[in-house]
Structure 1
Amino acid sequence: MSEPTSPAPEAPTRAPRPVARRLAVAAVLAIVVAGIDQLSKAIALAELSTTERIPLLGDLLGLQLAFNAGTVMSLGSGSTWVFTIVSSAAAVAIPIAIVRMRSRLARAGLAIVWGGAVGNLIDRLFAPPGFGVGRVTDMLAYGDLFIGNLADVALGVGAVLLVVGLIRRRDA
């Protein structure tokens, strides 16, 4: 009679490598940011007007549809293709920087910047007038200064978090 055999021991499961985990978390955050940005732009295209402003905070902040071929305040509007190239390069370079960073706050900030850059890159690639020269959809009117979008907000917030994270890490 043969003795019952015990089941084979299970192979130990390995925890995800820190680099893979960092990149995965950052990618999810960037995708959420870009997704919210694109959803807000779709709603703006469906609901807002280029001629009428909806006040949110009096004259300080409102909603108004605009299309921007340049950057903030329409700077460089004749060089949309340059911004497309720079945004494309950033979309590739940012993940490389993220996996090398030690500060969680700095990684989160850079992931938010990544999402904002991708949000505006999607417009530059696929919005009219054509591939690579599309106009970015804007809807957040800051008084009479300029009209931006949630990707722009993400770029600003992410940059602040990145700087704070880097400063805190250096001081630690």
Structure 2
Amino acid sequence: MSTEPSSSEPGLSEAAARPAEAPEPAGGGAATPAETPLDQVGEPAPLLPKRRVGLVFAVAVVIWVIDLVSKNLVAANLEGKEPVRILGGLIYLQVIRNPGAAFSMATGMTWVLALIAAAVVVAIVWLARRLRSVGWAIGLGLVLAGALGNLTDRIFRAPGPLRGHVIDFISAFAPNGEGFAIFNIADSAICVGGALIVLLSLLGKDYDGTTTRSKKKAGEAA
């Protein structure tokens, strides 16, 4: 008589048919694959520089205050007087009331210039929240200060709102604007800030903290 076990015995055929289960890891957690394919591993997102909104307005406020104080001081002490020679004749201080733009340009278009300055202020304030570059923040802060400084004159000084004359008082190399157009701190801030922004653009540095080279690499990777 045969002694082989019958296939009808309970549990034997089912146990043989089931594959062996992997043991659970200690701690009761689900088992994880030993290796993950490289094409499924994403590269970590690059860290963005922090926003520079505060720097823009800090630069703008400091330069705007300097411009306002200097204009009030020279208007109170030098208006109607002979030019004051300083720095060995490199600079002459004298007060003129300028109805035009920076460096006495566009005389007679005071209200138009006031509206343009206001538009520049709004545009810089809107862009400031997206700034992540220190250089761009300083440059735009200087331009904002210059625009605010001269706009303050056009709104609050005689002969009236949007028609006020800007106080200029720096005459370089010679008195009466003979060596160079008479200007003020606000005009200087606009020029320096604009030059800095142009330089950064030529170097491929964008306002969001990226560079032309990094954007090119990102495009190639995509």
- Note the C-alpha offset of 1:171: 5.8
What is the identity, as a one-letter code, of the residue corresponding to 1:167? L
Whose helix fraction is larger, Structure 1's or Structure 2's? Answer: 1
Q: Which residue of 2 aligns with 1:148?
A: 183
> Map of 1:90-169 to 2, 5 A cutoff?
90-142=120-172, 143=174, 144=178, 145-168=180-203, 169=205
Bigger-Rg structure (1/2) = 2
C-alpha contact (below 8 Å) 1:70/1:77 kept by paired residues: yes
Within-5 A mapping of 1:1-172:
18-19=50-51, 22-142=52-172, 143=174, 144=178, 145-168=180-203, 169=205, 170=211
Give 1:4's aligned residue.
none
> Structure 1 residue 36: deviation in Å?
0.6
Which has the higher mean CA deviation after the structures are superposed, 102-111 or 54-63?
54-63
Secondary structure of the equivalent of 1:125? helix
- Deviation of 1:58 after TM superposition, in Å, equals 4.3
Q: Give the TM-score normalised by structure 1.
A: 0.81
Distance 1:109 1:73, change over 3 A: closer
**Higher normalized strand content (fraction of residues):** 1
Q: Is contact 1:55–1:61 with CA below 8 Å preserved after alignment?
A: yes
Moved over 6 A (4+): none
SS of aligned partner of 1:146: coil
Single out whichever of 158-167 and 103-112 deviates more from structure 2: 158-167
Q: CA deviation at 1:85?
A: 0.2
Percent identity reads 35
What is the TM-score with the length of structure 2 in the denominator? Answer: 0.64
Count of aligned pairs between the two proteins: 154
Q: What is the RMSD computed on CA atoms of the aligned residues?
A: 2.0
> How far has the Cα of 1:156 moved from its partner?
1.0
Tell me the distance in 2 between the aligned counterparts of 1:72 and 1:23.
Answer: 26
* Residue identity matched to 1:110: L
Which fold has the larger relative contact order, with Cα–Cα distance below 8 Å and residues 6 or more apart in sequence?
1
State the alpha-carbon separation in 1 of the partners of residues 117 and 68 from structure 2: 16
Q: CA deviation at 1:76?
A: 1.7
